[in-house]
Amino acid sequence: MIGVIYWDPRPEIFVLPIVNWPILWYGVFFTLGFALGFPIFVGVLSRFFKLMGSVPSDQIRKTAVQITDRLVVYMIVATVVGARVGHFLFYERPASYFKDPWEIFRIWEGGLASHGAVVAILIAVFIFSMRIRKTAKGLSWVRLLDFVSIPTAMVAAWIRLGNFFNQEILGTKTDVPWAVVFGHPADHSRPAARHPAQIYEMLFYLAVFFLLWRLSYRSKFLMSQGKLIGTFLILVFGFRFVIEFLKLEQSHLVSAQSALTMGQYLSLPVVALGLLFYFWKRPK
């Protein structure tokens, strides 16, 4: 068996002296995604305020930054809590809770389920929209979701790169020229030439990010509620359904005889939600 690429990085970049705390690639990529997403969201929100005319021109950027400062806290908490809870509900054996309860909080080691994050983000953005409805005219729940979807696509790409460094969420065995052999897979399986499924997803999510970002410059998409979040959910989780055919089953709750993986079962309702957002005609 010969793989074109042998991939076996250490999960940690370095260890902080004195406190002996490892800095992991996964955590760095996760943080980088949010750091880069911040100015992107500010830019989208600023363009919206300019078109709405609801904020004085000299206050647009300041207002956008203030709102983003508050929203990003909701987003980080929702992403971490929702994705981590989703991972343990859909992908881990219940016994693991009792064996090592603190494992739930070790998010830097990986193990975040995007479907759980979606649910938590929907709830968090709704709560945030209720709290700012009197001070931020026009920023409804759905409109905020539209704007949030843009940097979220990029964050998802960085997280998949973190999965690649963690040697987790492995692809199926293959003999394609770009196959990757993971030296120490997280699931302790034997090294084999596999589809770099994490990279497939990373590249697709980046493409979705650039598409949504460009669409946000068109007033039809920026001012219409549901178009951007609908496009995001349809594309990201539609692709997730397809790419699962090239990935190993991650869940212990799905039998080997199942026609679909846990990721595919969970992606179907999310795609349906995306269609609802995109095509639902709202009263003007």
pLDDT at 127: 97
Distance of CA 23 to the CA centre of its chain: 21
pLDDT at 261: 87
Q: Which two tokens stand for residue 220?
A: 């039809």
Sign of CA dihedral 103, 108, 110, 111: positive
Q: Give residue-wise pLDDT tens across range 173-218.
A: 999 999 999 999 988 899 999 999 999 999 999 999 999 999 999 9
pLDDT at 259: 83
Which residues of the chain register pLDDT less than 50?
none
pLDDT at 107: 60
Quote the longest CA-to-CA distance of the chain.
Answer: 65
The residues, any chain, with a CB within 8 Å of residue 265's CB and separated by 6 or more, are 254
Torsion of CA 140, 141, 144, 146, to 10 degrees: -110
In degrees, rounded to 5, the angle at the alpha carbon of residue 226 between the alpha carbons of residues 222 and 41 is: 50
183 vs 47: CA distance, rounded Å: 47
pLDDT at 111: 65
What letter does residue 254 receive in the DSSP assignment? S
pLDDT at 108: 56
Dump the DSSP string for 66-97.
HHHHHHHHHHHHHHHHHHHHHHHHHTS-THHH
